[in-house]
Amino acid sequence: MALELRHFRYFVAVAEEGHITRAAERLGMQQPPLSQRIRFIEDELGAQLFLRRARGVELTQAGRAFLETARSMLSQYEGAYETVRRAARGQTGRLCVGATPTSAFHPIVPLAIRSFRDEFPQVNLTLEERLPVELIRGLQEKNIDVAFLRAETFVEAELSVKPLLAEPMIVALPTGHKLACGNGAIALRDLARDAFIVYARQTGPAFFEATIAACRDAGFSPTLGQEAPRVTSALNLVAAGLGVCVVPASVRRMAMEGIVYHPLKGSGQLKAPINIVSRRGDSAAVVRNFLNSIRRAKGTLADPQ
How far, in Å, are 11, 140, 154, 163 from residue 7 at the CA level?
6, 47, 57, 55
Q: 93-164+273-300, which class in CATH?
A: alpha beta
Residue 25 predicted with pLDDT over 80: yes
Is 226 buried (19+), middle (13-18) or exposed (0-12) by CB count in 10 A? middle
Note the CATH architecture for domain 5-88. Orthogonal Bundle (1.10)
Mean per-residue pLDDT, 255-270: 84
Q: Residue 304 — very low, low, confident or very high, per pLDDT cuts 50/70/90?
A: very low
How remote is the C-alpha of 108 from its chain's centroid?
12
Is 59 buried (19+), middle (13-18) or exposed (0-12) by CB count in 10 A? middle
The whole-number pLDDT of residue 250 equals 93
Residue 1 predicted with pLDDT over 70: no
How far, in Å, are 25, 88, 121, 199, 278 from residue 115 at the CA level?
46, 20, 10, 31, 19
The mean pLDDT of the chain is 88
Round to whole Å and give the CA distance between 140 and 155.
12
**Hey, CA dihedral for 39, 42, 44, 47, is it positive or negative?**
negative
46-68 residue pLDDT tens: 999 999 888 899 999 999 999 99
According to DSSP, residue 221 is labeled: P
Which residues, listed in sequence order, are joined to residue 196 by a DSSP beta bridge?
Answer: 224, 244
- The answer to whether 90 touches 285, Cβ cutoff 8 Å, is yes
Count CA atoms closer than 13 A to 4's CA, side-chain side.
3
How far, in Å, are 127, 263, 271, 282, 305 from residue 160 at the CA level?
19, 32, 21, 9, 22
174-188 residue pLDDT tens: 999 999 988 789 999
**Do 93-164+273-300 and 5-88 fall under one CATH topology?**
no
Mean per-residue pLDDT, 32-49: 92
The whole-number pLDDT of residue 269 equals 65
Listed by start position, the domains of the chain span: 5-88, 93-164+273-300, 166-272
Domain 166-272: homologous superfamily in CATH: Periplasmic binding protein-like II (3.40.190.10)
- Nearest-5° angle of CA 262, CA 185, CA 239? 25
74-103 residue pLDDT tens: 888 887 777 777 776 777 789 999 999 889
What's the pTM value of the predicted model, to 2 decimals?
Answer: 0.71
Is 122 buried (19+), middle (13-18) or exposed (0-12) by CB count in 10 A? exposed
- Nearest-5° angle of CA 4, CA 7, CA 11? 150
Mean per-residue pLDDT, 13-40: 92
Round to whole Å and give the CA distance between 125 and 127.
7
